[in-house]
Structure 1
Amino acid sequence: MKISVRNLEPTKVRLTITVDRDEFDPYLDAARKEIGKQVNVPGFRKGHVPGPIIDQRIGFAAVVGEAINHGVPELYSKALSEKQMHAMDQPQIDVKDVPESAKDDTKLKFTAEVEIRPQFDLPDLEGMEIEVAKPEVTDEDVDKRLDNLRKRFGTLVSVDRPAQKGDYASIDLEAVIDGESVDSQQGVSYELGSNTMLDGLDEALDGLSAGEETTFDGTLEAGDHQGEKAQIKVKVNSVKAEELPELDDDFAKEASEFDTLDELKADVRKQCETDAEGRQATDARDAFIAKLEDGLDIPVPKGIKESMVADQLKNGGKGADSASKEEKDEAEKNVEKELRDQMVLDALAEKLQVSVTQVDVTNFLASIAQQYGMDPSAFINAIVQNGQLGSAVQEVGRSKGMLAGMRAVTFKDSDGKALDLSRFLGEDEDDAAQAEAEEDESVQAASAAAAVADQISHEDSNEGDSQE
């Protein structure tokens, strides 16, 4: 197989692949066998029709077509592997030349344009030290958590005064466009200052008492007239203020298993310290990735970036035409960081020769299903059916690579004291016992994906048999 490479962009190439006939022949033979299983030829049993008869009765063009459908993806993957390239998207395949008969010596030739991961060298992890700020818990942190706890036990009481930030108002709303009412809601409970409804509503309500009303101009954010300007009429039916319980021993007994406020405060501080350690671990992760990328010039694939930016704007309720320059710039910045982080972590996982097990993949997908309250088997099945299993395997590889990399470096706080992040990074998988266990059960990422897919397909088949 001859492979030539033309660089179209810093992260895009065109591979021209020419396949020798002896390398393409096995695909032609496999195509003949597959076609032979599906057709009836007088004098022959299905699956036992000689190749020349298939060529004669069905046509060599059909054989070549079947061979290309199965062979080109494999040959393309071999070409990537041989050139040590890592595709980041599906290729655009264009078949240029094919043999027209069994005796035709024309070689299969096709091109593949694809965006790839650029080449870059990761720094050596040995001896690497990374500083992470010390987690600090202040009295203010404790007081804020206690206030949140008090709010869970708070009550709303009616007040005879103008509404102010933090109050809850029962309001009636009506939207008017060109003198015609287009939408209305009654008895809506709204917290002043939350800014969770229409822009301008907080300002309009501030200072109004029960029975008073006002109008303001706003943009409708839902319904048939979403995005249109309207005159909003708002009437206050009632105003209620939140009344919080006193912070004392009685509250501690009601809100917790503790008998005194001091005991409750001590427990809250402990919770704050645990959260601070978690934030420090997150900071360590971010600092680790930043250290890997420090000094590297990593271009991002243009096509993938454009697609991801469009998706991000769409998820934020914006289209490419309606988004402002600032919103587009922010989306591009986020996408570029996400892509660079992904590429660096992919390269790290390969450098550390990280393996992804079937258990890793299923546990990862099951945890996501649990977060969304879905049945794990149904969720995994949907992932397989939608062709997203490869992405899931890749995410697992990135995560395992990052954890392995973080275990290989030293993190220190601002005082130079080494940090113990083992609670967040897990056990080192390089010990002999773990290595032996993984040798027995692990497979590379592609094999893990196939195993999970086979498992799901088998379960579906069994369910179908049981229903017949």
Structure 2
Amino acid sequence: MQITTNPEGRTILVGKAIFTPDEVNQGFEQVYKDNVSRVKIPGFRPGKAPFKIFASHVGIESMKEDFTEIAARQALKEMLSGKTIRVVGNPTFEVDSFDGPLNLTIKVSFIPDYELSDPSKITIAVPKFDVTDADLNKAIDNIRGRYASMAPVDRKAKKGDFVYFKWSVITDGRASDRKKEELVEIGMEDFVKDFDKNLVGVKSGDIKIVMAEISSGQEPVEIEINIGEIKERILPNLDDDFAKTLHVENVEALKDIVKNELLEQAKDAKEEYIESMIAKALLEKTNIELPENLIESSVDDEIEKLARDLSKKNITLEMYLEKRGINEEQLRAELTPKATNQAKLDVILDDYSKENSIEASEEEVDQEIEAISNAMKDARRPALNENDEQVRKNLARIIKRRKTVGYLMGKVQLTEK
């Protein structure tokens, strides 16, 4: 076999292999030896048919296909001999010609060498994630809101009020007789986008003509709205009696509980911010190039994630594409920048793990399984199978990623904004 290798861009290695007629014949002999005992040929016991009978029975094209696979593996081994490249995905091969000698082209995608950034030289300005009295009061009011009562009002509607109205589309200057009913909390924007501003200042009995984007992505249309009853939300008094309905001793204890929850949320938000800024800095400071097949695989992951999220809303990917008026090719193009950054970040973090010998121990995996299983038990869902190798492998990857991010968070320089 003769083989020459040349780069194609920075992420593909191309090999051109030639197998002489003698090597092809030797290869056919190997195909014969590997398969003759498995092929049933009339008139012969398994493994006893002569080469020519075997070749005539299975066909020369079948033997060529089998030998081509053998030849491709040999050529690939020779291509990569002495090289320390990081191969990504499965190599591809193509038969250029097979008329006597066999001419093959093998392509291998790989990640070129690059330098990891020194995390200690990364500086991140972190905003304050304090919990203010205003934050506490808002959280308390949200809790009170769950126990609020509704009372009709005889005044103009304002933000936070609930407005009942009927509406219909205007066609040729006339409102349709087919009216639809809505109950909207002003400020929540849960009817259509930018609609609630039309309800501020209305009174019961008012009739208004407004423009509204009834269908997402479509041009606004003229609609008539007939205002019905307006109600305000009456919050319960913030006193010890209210606290006791929540099984808390008094108001001060309730405030302490809520504040501690807010502090925990603020801590998590701060860590998420730092983590996102580290990811951004690594992508900006690391000159890494990825092969196309790795990027395409990352795009596939993004589409699968989108499909899972849509399914939770009983929406299929096909329905989503139709609603947006795009095809899958356009969606892939749209998701490619995000997928590319995610794939780069995955490689970079994996390399920090290797460089710093960061791994997930079996004990850590066991602890993670126990924690998840307990949470699932509380939610009355089946526990994880601790002996499932795929489950353990996935959790080990998650733990290693978490430990690597923790390592980086301990190395970067943090300053206050």
Spell out the pairing of 1:354-433 with structure 2 (5 A cutoff). Answer: 397=397, 400-401=400-401, 403-404=403-404, 406-407=406-407, 409-410=410-411, 414=415
Q: Counterpart of 1:262? A: 252
- C-alpha distance in 2 between matches for 1:269 and 1:258: 14
- C-alpha distance in 2 between matches for 1:393 and 1:287: 28
- C-alpha distance in 2 between matches for 1:80 and 1:397: 28
Q: Counterpart of 1:437? A: none
Is the CA contact (8 Å cut-off) linking 1:168 and 1:192 kept in structure 2? yes
Q: Counterpart of 2:105? A: 110
Q: Please give the per-residue CA displacement for 1:70-94, whole angstroms capped at 9, x wherever unaligned.
A: 8758975995796444456676643
Residues 38 and 330 of structure 1: is their aligned pair in 2 closer, same or farther, counting only changes over 3 Å?
A: closer
Matched, 1:167 2:171: no
Is the CA contact (8 Å cut-off) linking 1:130 and 1:287 kept in structure 2? no
Matched, 1:280 2:270: yes
Q: Counterpart of 2:206? A: 212
Aligned-residue CA RMSD in angstroms?
5.2
Q: Counterpart of 1:342? A: 346
Return the TM-score normalized by structure 2.
0.68
- C-alpha distance in 2 between matches for 1:146 and 1:25: 82
Shift of 1:261: 0.9
Matched, 1:42 2:33: no
- C-alpha distance in 1 between matches for 2:54 and 2:342: 51
Is the CA contact (8 Å cut-off) linking 2:17 and 2:105 kept in structure 1? yes
Q: Counterpart of 1:235? A: 226
Residues 130 and 239 of structure 1: is their aligned pair in 2 closer, same or farther, counting only changes over 3 Å?
A: same
Shift of 1:122: 0.9
- C-alpha distance in 2 between matches for 1:277 and 1:156: 36
Q: Relative to structure 2, which stretch is displaced further, 243-252 or 302-311?
A: 302-311
- C-alpha distance in 2 between matches for 1:177 and 1:81: 75
Q: Which runs of 5+ in 2 are unaligned?
A: 307-316
Q: Which runs of 5+ in 1 are unaligned?
A: 322-326, 382-388, 416-468
Residues 402 and 216 of structure 1: is their aligned pair in 2 closer, same or farther, counting only changes over 3 Å?
A: same
Is the CA contact (8 Å cut-off) linking 1:345 and 1:402 kept in structure 2? no
Higher relative contact order (CA 8 A, sep 6+): 2
Q: Counterpart of 1:461? A: none
What SS does the corresponding residue of 1:16 show, helix, strand or coil?
A: strand
One-letter code aligned to 1:42: G
Is the CA contact (8 Å cut-off) linking 1:28 and 1:63 kept in structure 2? no
Q: Please give the per-residue CA displacement for 1:213-239, whole angstroms capped at 9, x wherever unaligned.
A: 3222333326xxx72553223223322
One-letter code aligned to 1:249: D
Return the TM-score normalized by structure 1.
0.62
The number of residue pairs the alignment matches comes to 381
One-letter code aligned to 2:15: T
Q: Please give the per-residue CA displacement for 1:128-148, whole angstroms capped at 9, x wherever unaligned.
A: 786674653222222222122
Shift of 1:112: 2.5
Is the CA contact (8 Å cut-off) linking 2:87 and 2:108 kept in structure 1? no
Residue of structure 2 aligned with 1:245, choices 219, 227, 236: 236
Q: Please give the per-residue CA displacement for 1:47-82, whole angstroms capped at 9, x wherever unaligned.
A: x46582432211131133245468758975995796
